[in-house]
Structure 1
Amino acid sequence: MGKEKVSTAERELDTQYALYEADDLIASHNETGKVNPEYPAELQPRDRTRQASEDQIRGIASKLNPKLPGANPLASSGAPIIGSDRVVESGNGRVSAIRKAYRNHPERAKAYQEHLKQNAKSFGLKPESVDNFKQPVLVRQRQGEMDTDQHIAFTKEANARDTASMSPAEKAKLDASRITQEDLSHFDTDDTGDLLHRSNDVFLARFADRLGSEAGELKTRQGDWNKQMRDRVESSPVYESLR
């Protein structure tokens, strides 16, 4: 109880669940995308200052699912992973989203805190301990020592997309399983001739939210949907039902 093994494509590590104040975690960026000068730059392989990344964090915060930043056997998902120095090694975006939820979406933050209390025992924690924090964040603290090269390698692996090794057909099948009937109801069936038309913004935003960390690659620096978004939707088997 309280411990969880997490895996990347290259290794398996032991972690220990713990609670920290949101502001005590050393993340690569704050919730507005500003770089944290205290964070080791070599440990952040993603550009969190991109507009697409900020949009992704904003979307996650506004609809924060309390279950998602919790138990997960993958290092790339679940509760953020930190070192003994409180530096976030995997889950910088998740930390930023949780902080933003505390600041801008109190109803989602409350739901997250209630989830932590109700499931505290499964994390090896005491339910009443959640109340000792103003803005608690559930993390997995990495156990054991690493040299610098191992440390950098782990953070790169832990931040790699889960779908990196999937074929286009496998990705399309996974995408289709993520789309709900409510999502489909927001698709504009009028023949505009452009899947990325503004009339489909709600549908595309909901689809992007379900892609998690991959969503940051689906917009241009100007904040518009890009060709990759078009390809992901059009490759999905459900697209035929939308036309």
Structure 2
Amino acid sequence: MRSSIVLMMARVSAALALAVCLAACTTVSGPDPMPFAAAPAPAMPDAARYGAVTDEKFPVPAVSLADLKPRYMRQLVDYQTDQPPGTVVVDPAHHFLYLVQGDGKALRYGVGVGRAGMEWSGTAKVSYKREWPRWTPTSDMIARDPNTYKKWSVGMDGGQTNPLGARAIYLFENGKDTLYRIHGTNQPWSIGKSVSSGCIRMMNQDVIDLYSRVPAGTKVVVLPSGAGT
């Protein structure tokens, strides 16, 4: 009898031990304990600003996430320059455009620039600006590629397919049109590349932002393509 009682108590003890073990391995519902929570992702430039714009004369589609490279997204950065606040500085070598803010800061945008042999550099001023501008290829562009450009020799109205995009900022040097523009593009994949016919292209969302910040008369410095900051 005594041996039966001892055996029963041993079985009960084993069952309790097993129950404790199983309880310890059970997943508890609810939030993870704070000490083991995953660290938040590093802060990135705000991608939401590259969403669709619907309050324009023509809708501006969102930029594909595949084309949104954090390096070329609009952001405030440290930037040392002797240019006064309000100056636009274009650095073709690194595909950046800076709007100088002062106090060692600048608003930086990614840009696409002219391919080899088609660059322009120098100091200009914003002569005038246009929303959804009309585009006319230059005579050099038509001579170089008539199949592409000749049909537009009388110009193309503004719109989603217009290569100048949502805005154009016209650069003059010593009162003369340089024929170079800062403008939007319907090819956001080209930002960060040297593929244009010489102009400085920006994502439409960025050129709309820059357009609102730079009045006529703004100084624009375009660095030589091999003299980046």
TM-score category (smaller protein): under 0.3
More helix by share: 1
TM-score (norm 1): 0.23
The structure with the largest alpha-carbon Rg is 2
TM-score (norm 2): 0.24
More strand by share: 2
